[in-house]
């Protein structure tokens, strides 16, 4: 009886603490929400960018971006002012010195301020009666959910078991790895504008009725760009969705990077734990990998989102290979998920994965042919194809069907010249924010090309273990040794020690070098290999719970200090690239080398509102453009005449006149879309609809996902009833 009373009082105390804690969480949420009404306006100094594409008007920067709503615009200076979109639609007009109203019917990605002279405008202030963006509301929701989960672990699972503690450590490390993002701005990045514009392109494509998005309607003054179909961007739908919910580009991008850090930490933990069957090994590998310098350089400073995303899934590929070659071959689907994640992130990294799989099969050929393990590889390949069928038809159609600039790159004679000096691998505290220089320029000003402190320590642990171990301490040591050897080969291939100059005389190898472009990209795959094998070696060296906890604590401390050293430099030595209210810059938005234009396209001639008819009597009376959709009213149209519209020509568009006639679309001047007119056509409607086999691919992927979900539910149900 006394025990029952004690237990009852404990439950009452627990409930009381839980209620108090929940109330505290919501109070914190309310305090954060009070900030909503403080961010009602933004103000920027204006700088003339010279003559615009609009006759007699001058363009000013920065460009702006705001969600749907009504805004008051106040510009200091003198003269007339006009606000237009990137594709030429007028949004509002007025005079400098007097406020005027700007009404947006949808989220606008690129609002341009135009003035009558190059010196008349000084600054712009845009205000709203409510909050400008939904950033704080979304952030508050995430914080409340996170705190409630922490309270659930604390009070209802009593601090949790090893798995709960591991989850807490991993989440804390992911948050810590994201601290450079908590400045309210977006930091500088080499490829930043390209990827930010991809996010804007997805958002605007969805707004114009495309799903999935195949052509970005935002690029090139509204002419569109095919990157959506030739550069996989499944995961970029996450920040694009945040943009649709009213988030600023700054918040959407930084939140996405935070989620990338979380996914990196979680997937590495799952992979390393799955290989080792040890929670400590999983956490050790996760901490070192998440805080590794090279990974965060890819994510933040290089802003190479494709490569950073592929680094999320490389550990899963390694885990999948382990399951198929040495572990539970029934888990063949893990390799399929890893390969899908990498493919949907970065094409070059997909090539790396194919090489890794081939190398693993060759190294462990006996395992491959025994116990029908080879069959698991075929099943993984089949599932990978089915999961990506929603994307593959469009990718194949456009990547191999269009004569794009990326397919006309000259032989990569500078591949070796971009290799890493061995010295740079040891410069683990290098915080230089330059670019990758040719080896003839030496080391001064070169960006960091080191694996970082933690990964380098893992490399040393691996070397010490395999050179000096007296007895086997790693289960499935052969797999670990093979992966370590492959990682060392990748490291060797990244450096100036590897004879690329001689090997590139072979056309096939030179083609491979032209695809990879930079030898230091091999560091991205070597990093997770060293982290996993290094964690396995650490587990073999350390005996006893206390030693493992001490080693894990030391790893967290060393990696954290190293990360702070880099993060401090990144956040204090570089100017922010994007602030709230600013639109993404179009500089580099098409790629550093304009890779995805059809050969012969002159981007400078892609001017807004370019509607041109042939030499006949056809005349454009009125037009309306909404993303990838265009409606044009005409007079005097007849058979044999044509109309060119401000869209780059890609097959998959369709056009129809007011009589229901399907109109032929062809490649016109500067690869713009040309519409063949018919007698009596008064209205022409153009939209992107894709091809039937694009839709078939989507259906196959959807059926695959539904079938996999149904099979999983069936097995769970059977296990519960057993």
Which helix (H) or strand (E) element contains residue 674? Answer: strand 672-676
Per-residue H/E/C for 302-355: CCCHHHHHHHHHHHHHHHHHHHHHCCCHHHCHHHHHHHHHHHCCCHHHHHHHHH
Question: Which residues make beta-bridge pairs with 667?
Answer: 673
Distance CA 707, CA 717 (A): 15
Task: Read off the tokens for 352.
Answer: 């790396």
Among candidate residues 459, 535, 468, 465, the one with its CA nearest the CA of residue 491: 459
Q: Which contacts qualify for 656-661: CB closer than 8 Å, 24 or more apart? A: 656/684, 656/685, 657/681, 657/682, 657/683, 657/684, 657/685, 658/682, 658/683
Cβ-proximal residues to 191 (8 Å cutoff; 6+ apart), any chain:
302, 303, 304, 305, 588, 592
Task: Read off the tokens for 676.
Answer: 């063949």
Residues constituting the chain: 722
Distance CA 185, CA 300 (A): 12
Distance CA 307, CA 646 (A): 33
Low-confidence ranges of the chain (pLDDT < 70): 1-39, 136-161, 409-413, 721-722
Which phi and psi angles does 457 have, rounded to 5°? Answer: -65, -40
Distance CA 276, CA 479 (A): 11
- Helix H segments across 100-225? 135-156, 162-177, 192-207, 219-222
> Domain 40-132 class?
mainly beta
pLDDT at 171: 86
All CATH 2.60.40 domain ranges in the chain, comma separated? 607-690
pLDDT at 159: 47
Cis before residue 17, ω within 30 degrees of 0?
no
Distance CA 358, CA 368 (A): 11
Distance CA 472, CA 665 (A): 68
pLDDT at 433: 79
Distance CA 79, CA 93 (A): 11
Q: What is the pTM of this model?
A: 0.91
All CATH 2.60.120.1250 domain ranges in the chain, comma separated? 40-132
Task: Read off the tokens for 231.
Answer: 């550069």
Using DSSP's 3-state secondary structure scheme, residue 711 falls into helix
Which phi and psi angles does 66 have, rounded to 5°? Answer: -145, 155
Output the CATH code of domain 607-690. 2.60.40
Using DSSP's 3-state secondary structure scheme, residue 113 falls into strand
């Amino acid at each position: 009886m006394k025990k029952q009373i004690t237990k009852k009082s404990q439950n009452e105390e627990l409930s009381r603490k839980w209620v108090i804690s929940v109330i505290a969480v919501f109070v914190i949420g309310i305090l954060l929400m009070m900030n909503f009404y403080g961010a009602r306006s933004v103000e920027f100094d204006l700088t003339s960018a010279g003559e615009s594409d609009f006759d007699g008007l001058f363009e000013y920067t920065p460009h702006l971006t705001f969600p749907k709503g009504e805004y008051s615009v106040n510009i200091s200076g003198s003269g007339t002012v006009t606000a237009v979109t990137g594709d030429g639609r007028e949004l509002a007009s007025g005079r400098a010195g007097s406020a005027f109203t700007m009404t947006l019917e949808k989220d606008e990605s690129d609002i341009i301020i135009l003035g009558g002279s190059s010196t008349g405008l000084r600054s712009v202030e845009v205000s709203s009666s409510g909050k400008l963006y939904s950033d704080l509301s979304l952030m508050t929701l995430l914080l409340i959910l996170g705190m409630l989960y922490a309270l659930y672990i604390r009070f209802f699972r009593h601090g949790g078991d090893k798995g709960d503690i591991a989850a807490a450590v991993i989440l804390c490390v992911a948050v810590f790895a994201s601290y450079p993002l908590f400045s309210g701005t977006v930091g500088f990045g080499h490829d930043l504008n390209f990827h930010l514009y991809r996010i804007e392109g997805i958002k605007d494509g969805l707004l114009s009725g495309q799903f999935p998005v195949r052509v970005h309607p935002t690029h090139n003054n509204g002419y569109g760009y095919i990157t959506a179909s030739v550069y996989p961007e499944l995961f970029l739908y996450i920040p694009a969705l945040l943009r649709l919910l009213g988030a600023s580009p700054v918040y959407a991008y930084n939140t996405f990077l935070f989620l990338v850090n979380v996914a990196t930490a979680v997937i590495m933990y799952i992979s390393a734990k799955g290989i080792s069957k040890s929670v400590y090994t999983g956490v050790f590998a996760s901490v070192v990998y998440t805080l590794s310098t090279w990974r965060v350089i890819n994510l933040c400073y290089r802003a190479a989102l494709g490569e950073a995303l592929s680094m999320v899934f490389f550990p899963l590929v390694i885990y999948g290979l382990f399951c198929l070659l040495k572990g539970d071959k029934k888990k063949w689907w893990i390799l399929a998920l890893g390969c899908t994640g990498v493919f949907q992130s970065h094409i070059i990294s997909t090539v790396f994965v194919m090489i890794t799989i081939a190398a693993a099969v060759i190294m462990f050929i006996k395992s491959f042919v025994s116990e029908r393990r080879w069959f698991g590889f075929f099943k993984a390949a089949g599932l990978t194809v089915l999961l990506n069928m929603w994307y593959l038809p469009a990718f194949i159609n456009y990547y191999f069907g269009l004569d794009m600039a990326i397919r006309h790159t000259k032989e990569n004679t500078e591949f070796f010249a971009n290799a890493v000096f061995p010295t740079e691998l040891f410069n683990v505290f290098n915080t230089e924010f330059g670019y990758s220089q040719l080896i003839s320029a030496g080391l001064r000003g070169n960006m960091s090309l080191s694996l970082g402190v933690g990964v380098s320590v893992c490399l040393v642990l691996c070397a010490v273990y395999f050179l000096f171990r007296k007895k086997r301490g790693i289960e499935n040591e052969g797999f670990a040794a093979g992966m370590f050897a492959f990682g060392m080969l990748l490291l060797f291939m990244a450096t100036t020690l590897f004879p690329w100059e001689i090997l590139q005389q072979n056309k096939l190898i030179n083609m491979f070098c032209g695809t990879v472009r930079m030898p230091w990209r091999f560091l991205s795959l070597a990093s997770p290999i060293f982290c996993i094998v290094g964690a396995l070696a650490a587990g073999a060296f350390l005996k006893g719970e206390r030693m493992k906890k001490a080693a894990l604590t030391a790893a967290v401390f060393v990696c954290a200090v190293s990360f702070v050293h880099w993060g401090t430099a990144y956040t204090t030595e570089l100017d922010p690239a994007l602030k709230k209210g600013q639109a993404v810059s179009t500089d580099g938005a098409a790629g550093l080398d304009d890779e995805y234009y059809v050969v012969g396209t002159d981007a400078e001639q892609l001017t807004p509102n370019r509607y041109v008819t042939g030499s006949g009597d056809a005349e454009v009376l009125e037009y309306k453009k909404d993303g990838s959709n265009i409606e044009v009213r005409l007079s005097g149209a007849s058979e044999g005449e044509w109309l060119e519209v401000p869209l780059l020509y890609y097959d998959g568009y369709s056009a129809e006149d007011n009589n229901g006639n399907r109109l032929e679309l062809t490649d016109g001047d500067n690869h713009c879309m040309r519409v063949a007119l018919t007698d009596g056509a008064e209205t022409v409607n153009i939209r992107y609809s894709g091809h039937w086999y694009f839709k078939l691919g989507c259906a196959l992927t959807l059926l695959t996902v539904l079938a996999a979900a149904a099979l999983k539910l069936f097995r769970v149900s059977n296990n519960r009833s057993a």
